[in-house]
Structure 1
Amino acid sequence: MSLLTEDAKGVFVISVTPFHPDGTIDFDSLDRVTDFYIEKGATGLTILGMMGEAPKLTQAESRAVAQRVIARAGDLPVVVGVSAPGLAAISELSKSVMDLGAAGVMIAPPGSLKTDAQIAGYYSQACAAAGEGVPVVLQDFPLSTGVQIDPAVLNRIVQELPQVVMLKHEDWPGLPKITALRRAEAAGQRRISILCGNGGIFLPEEMGRGADGAMTGFAFPEMLRQVVDLSNAGDMDRAQDIFDAYLPLVRYEQQPGAGLAVRKYVLQKRGAIASAALRSPGAPAAPEAIAEVDRLIARLTRRLKELT
């Protein structure tokens, strides 16, 4: 499998980690959901992210999940989240998954970082821990990590650390950050790939600002692929129409603490996984939420018919 580069584009779907109701990993469903993402147009996969319940897995389980998905994905690039409080854990998991054929690793900053110097210094250490030459995706998700990374600090990291080949852009509001990076590149800074998260809730605007695609999860990943392709083709109106049809469900999935249960319910409903179970701590979607989601899906089905 080839390594991730600054030229990466398209849709890298953040994969869920399927569990049996008893909390053990459902590897058959992991195969099935990997196939599902590929069939729906994923150009890459990202596993063991925050919405993949990575903090609930042991190191051995993380390695087992990575081994299964990388083997199943074939030539499709797989990025593995290796974020951890300590650098030793990052180093251990990075080496394991890169040996298995991962295309790169994703690292989010720990919440202890408070200053610009600490952030830049951390990524220098984290890149070294990941291993020489290992492509790194910098996950910028301040709503979750609490770490605010100024565009000037991102520019410094890009200039000083060639291992950082991609920004996973999840600042909110954060559209000016994409603009700042692209302007710096126009002025001579090294260009990196920018793929966007947050469930795709700002994807049309992010594409308009110069993003290369999406790296996020959504129970209808085909929407992400359609919006990215239409945006790249210059058909922003059609891209917006498609996005708007799915927006109520995108919005519903974005509820903090409840969105993953909703996403897993819809994936189960679509036949991609056998169970919507979350590993503890984590609660399934309430019956009221399920009824609301079913109504949104029914409305989505009608809306898509109108668009065809």
Structure 2
Amino acid sequence: MNWFGVMPAMTTAFDEKLNIDHVFMAKHATWMIENGCTGLVMLGSLGEAATLTPDEKVSILKNIVATVKGVPVVAAISALSTAEAVSLAKTAADNGCSGLMVLPPYVYRGDWRETKAHIATIFRATPLSCMLYNNPVAYGTDFLPEQIAELSAEHANFHAVKESSTDVRRVSAIRALLNDRLKIFVGVDDAIVEGIAAGATGWIAGLVNAMPAESVALFNFAYEGKHKEALELYRWFLPLLRMDTVPKFIQLIKFVQQEVGVGSARVRAPRLEITGDELTETKQVLTEALKSRPMIEEAVFAGASR
């Protein structure tokens, strides 16, 4: 498992009856890889994992692994119980995934002893390479750099951190304790340039679902130290990237996909598609961005807009 580059937190496509559209998802996955993405993260928050049944999760993993043969597919592991999380981790391993992105338990916010036990049990459940997902804003559990170092010392298959605290100082703090022992990924779209400057080497991205060419170009400019090019592209992209950082990020990102012809705005309840002032404002932001969209070469999307 090579933890590097732009890895989309892939959205889950639904048809008119809100069943999973596997055909579209295969085309979508292929298109993002063709545009330079280095792997795919399935069943994450952006993938609406909480609305998927266990069988649906398995079917998604099987489809994407078969579609992008040889490209890393990472399964996000989120559950209410440790036993459920372990079961999903083993299922991911059995179905050809290359890595796991491990989340803290849903709903129950335990102390460090409990949370560590949950994470450690998942790490030990398979030999797959593991990424720890730190998102205290969304999940209420904050993995401090010292705690991450503790886990690192005890688990040889713990290889990466998705840092979504929105504080880029965390990247420096983790590296100060562990040097290059763990690969650090930025997990919020509007901190990618700052995160790379602090030492991150990857990006679990959201808007990439609609604009992979721009996302990969931005990452490459920042990683290669092309500051002028990176800042110019970043300034253009930021109004869209900020959509990844608000409660309705799923609805917003799927809406952008729909408007640029690479997806549908459909979401499963309790989420509902945006309407009214939210829709008007989102359209305005997207319209302004598209007026000055940079000319970046991209692979053509092979599927019709759904």
What is the TM-score with the length of structure 2 in the denominator? 0.89
Alignment partner of 1:215: what SS? strand
**Paired letter, 1:116:** W
Distance 1:306 1:147, change over 3 A: same
Residues 1:22 and 2:13 aligned together? no
Distance 1:39 1:154, change over 3 A: same
The correspondence for 2:128, drawn from 120, 134, 142, is: 134
Distance 1:288 1:146, change over 3 A: same
Residues 1:201 and 2:196 aligned together? no
1:151 counterpart residue number: 145
Give CA-to-partner distance per residue, 1:167-194, whole Å, 9 cap, x none: 011112x2121101111234xxx61111
- Determine the C-alpha separation between the residues in 1 that align with 2:184 and 2:121: 22
Distance 1:59 1:119, change over 3 A: same
Alignment partner of 2:284: what SS? helix
The correspondence for 1:171, drawn from 165, 178, 198, is: 165
The equivalences for 1:237-248 within 5 A come to 237-248=228-239
- Determine the C-alpha separation between the residues in 2 that align with 1:147 and 1:59: 24
1:65 counterpart residue number: 60
Alignment partner of 2:292: what SS? helix
The equivalences for 1:218-237 within 5 A come to 218=207, 219-237=210-228
1:213 counterpart residue number: 202
Distance 1:91 1:46, change over 3 A: same
Distance 1:113 1:160, change over 3 A: farther
Alignment partner of 2:243: what SS? helix
Residues 1:125 and 2:121 aligned together? yes
Answer yes or no: is the 8 Å Cα contact 2:183–2:200 preserved in 1: yes
Give CA-to-partner distance per residue, 1:203-232, whole Å, 9 cap, x none: 110000000020121132323211211122
Give CA-to-partner distance per residue, 1:76-116, whole Å, 9 cap, x none: 11101121122222222222222221111111112534433
Q: Please state how far the C-alpha of 1:35 moved relative to its aligned partner.
A: 2.1
Give CA-to-partner distance per residue, 1:101-134, whole Å, 9 cap, x none: 1111111112534433333333222212x32x22
The correspondence for 1:77, drawn from 72, 77, 98, is: 72
- Determine the C-alpha separation between the residues in 2 that align with 1:305 and 1:146: 37
2:96 counterpart residue number: 101
Residues 1:91 and 2:86 aligned together? yes
Q: Please state how far the C-alpha of 1:287 moved relative to its aligned partner.
A: 4.6
The equivalences for 1:268-307 within 5 A come to 268-273=258-263, 275-305=264-294
- Determine the C-alpha separation between the residues in 2 that align with 1:305 and 1:32: 24
**Paired letter, 1:265:** F
Alignment partner of 1:80: what SS? strand
- Determine the C-alpha separation between the residues in 1 that align with 2:77 and 2:117: 18
Answer yes or no: is the 8 Å Cα contact 1:204–1:236 preserved in 2: no
**Paired letter, 2:9:** I
- Determine the C-alpha separation between the residues in 1 that align with 2:279 and 2:174: 40
Give CA-to-partner distance per residue, 1:5-50, whole Å, 9 cap, x none: 5xx2100111000112322111122122212322332111001001
Q: What value does the CA root-mean-square deviation take over the aligned residues?
A: 2.0
Distance 1:161 1:305, change over 3 A: closer
What is the TM-score with the length of structure 1 in the denominator? 0.89
Answer yes or no: is the 8 Å Cα contact 1:63–1:97 preserved in 2: yes
Q: Please state how far the C-alpha of 1:268 moved relative to its aligned partner.
A: 1.8
Answer yes or no: is the 8 Å Cα contact 2:206–2:244 preserved in 1: no
**Paired letter, 1:77:** P
Alignment partner of 2:269: what SS? coil
Q: Please state how far the C-alpha of 1:288 moved relative to its aligned partner.
A: 3.8
Distance 1:93 1:119, change over 3 A: closer
Alignment partner of 1:50: what SS? coil
Q: Please state how far the C-alpha of 1:61 moved relative to its aligned partner.
A: 0.5
Answer yes or no: is the 8 Å Cα contact 1:13–1:216 preserved in 2: yes
**Paired letter, 2:55:** A
**Paired letter, 1:191:** R
- Determine the C-alpha separation between the residues in 1 that align with 2:17 and 2:295: 42
2:300 counterpart residue number: none
